[in-house]
């Protein structure tokens, strides 16, 4: 039997597994895709280093970054936010490279059962695993499915989460190709994040924008790029990339109402299961486009410690 199983190898699951590793625990991490990182992915083209989702985030603790081998790679933006010179994927890659525990890649958890004091996990490929504690690092829509058997009440609450779609458009261009009234056009989009940091653009003449657009469900990538460029008056982008997230952030909800539903979910979750991820964090800053990777990492560490406490009981 495994002691602890972490399901989901995005930022939250990796942070949990990393803490388990640090404390010498016996754990296994399961990730349905062939790579770790979840939504976080960095890519390079024409000298621009782009991120598909978390691009700018609330600044991370420098000591923790140094412990991951990322000393000096965080670039502060002066407003409490920051980006990583090697792209946000350098953070998930740094967490993943330290993991020595079991890992099951390209395998999805299908359902969870309970047998006496242990959990019985059924994977979609038919593999069965036992565990004493679980960390579910999954968005609510996926967590609802896997929890249905073991806790229909929690599953029902999670299935009620509603999302809105978002297209994140990365545009790399010459600064001369932005209009003089660029600053006044920013409110045309859900958010606009930008950098001319040397590690992210070919030279000081260029700028990288990440534009958030709502209501792009019926558009193809080309139409989305054209719309983003028009809204900002951006001409002749050298690089344009679209990441269209059909279920991106939660539909706007009052922070107090969200806190209340999280409290109810925690109360109904079977003992020994922890639920972590961006759907269970604070919702007040969602529309800014600035990710809370610090919150993801803290949630992972807390869940790891709680799972270890379960084993000691």
Ligand X SMILES: Cc1cc2nc3c(=O)[nH]c(=O)nc-3n(C[C@H](O)[C@H](O)[C@H](O)COP(=O)(O)OP(=O)(O)OC[C@H]3O[C@@H](n4cnc5c(N)ncnc54)[C@H](O)[C@@H]3O)c2cc1C
Provide the total of helices (H) and of strands (E) in the chain, helices listed first. Answer: 9, 16
Whole-angstrom CA distances from 286 to 244, 248, 255, 283 are: 17, 10, 11, 6
The region of 4-12, 42-50, 177-185, 201-209 touching ligand X under the rule CB under 6 A is: 4-12
Length of the chain: 313
How many residues interact with ligand X (rule CB under 6 A)?
35
* Complex with ligand X: residue 48 or 191, whichever CB lies closer: 191
What sign does the dihedral 83-244-179-204 (CA atoms) show?
A: positive
Task: Say whether residue 171 binds ligand X (CB under 6 A).
Answer: no
Task: Say whether residue 158 binds ligand X (CB under 6 A).
Answer: no
* Complex with ligand X: residue 53 or 178, whichever CB lies closer: 53
The region of 114-122, 233-241, 251-259, 285-293 touching ligand X under the rule CB under 6 A is: 285-293
The region of 19-27, 133-141, 177-185, 254-262 touching ligand X under the rule CB under 6 A is: 133-141
Task: Say whether residue 244 binds ligand X (CB under 6 A).
Answer: no
* Of the residues 101, 172, 237, 277, which one makes contact with ligand X according to CB under 6 A: 277
Q: How far apart are CA 5 and CA 248, in angstroms?
A: 26
Q: How far apart are CA 39 and CA 45, in angstroms?
A: 19
* Of the residues 53, 99, 140, 225, which one makes contact with ligand X according to CB under 6 A: 53
* Runs of H (alpha helix) within 39-164: 62-67, 89-97, 140-147, 152-159
Please choose, from the candidates 217, 205, 212, the residue with its C-alpha nearest in 3D space to the C-alpha of residue 228. Answer: 212
Q: Where do contacts with ligand X occur on this chain (CB under 6 A)? A: 7-13, 30-33, 38-40, 53-54, 108-109, 137-139, 142, 146, 166, 245, 248-249, 277-278, 281, 286, 291-292, 295-296
């Amino acid at each position: 039997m495994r002691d602890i199983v972490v399901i989901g190898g995005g930022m939250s699951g990796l942070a949990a597994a990393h803490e388990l590793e640090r404390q010498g625990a016996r754990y296994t991490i399961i990730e349905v895709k062939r790579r770790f990182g979840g939504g976080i992915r960095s890519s390079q083209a024409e000298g621009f280093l782009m991120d598909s989702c978390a691009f700018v985030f609330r600044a991370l603790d420098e000591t923790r970054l140094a412990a991951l081998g990322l000393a000096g790679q965080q670039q502060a933006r002066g407003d409490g936010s920051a980006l990583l010179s090697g792209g946000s994927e350098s953070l998930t890659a740094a967490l993943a490279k330290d993991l020595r525990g079991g890992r099951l890649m390209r395998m999805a958890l299908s359902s969870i059962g309970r047998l006496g004091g242990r959990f019985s996990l059924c994977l979609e490929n038919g593999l069965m695993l036992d565990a004493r504690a679980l960390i579910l690092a999954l968005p609510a829509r996926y967590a609802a499915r896997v929890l249905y058997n073991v806790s229909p009440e929690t599953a029902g609450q999670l299935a009620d989460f509603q999302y809105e779609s978002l297209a994140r458009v990365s545009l790399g261009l010459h600064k001369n190709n932005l209009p003089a009234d660029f600053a006044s056009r920013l409110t045309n989009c859900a958010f606009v994040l930008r950098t001319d940091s040397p590690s992210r653009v070919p030279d000081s003449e260029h700028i990288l924008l990440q534009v958030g657009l709502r209501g792009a469900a019926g558009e193809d990538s080309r139409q989305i790029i054209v719309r983003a460029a028009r809204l900002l008056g951006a001409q002749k982008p050298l690089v344009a990339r679209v990441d269209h997230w059909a279920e991106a952030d939660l539909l706007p909800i009052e922070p107090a109402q969200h806190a209340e539903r999280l409290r109810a979910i925690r109360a109904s979750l079977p003992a020994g299961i922890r639920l972590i991820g961006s759907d269970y964090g604070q919702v007040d800053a969602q529309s800014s486009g600035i990710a809370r990777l610090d919150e993801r990492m803290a949630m992972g560490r807390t869940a790891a410690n709680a799972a270890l406490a379960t084993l000691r009981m």
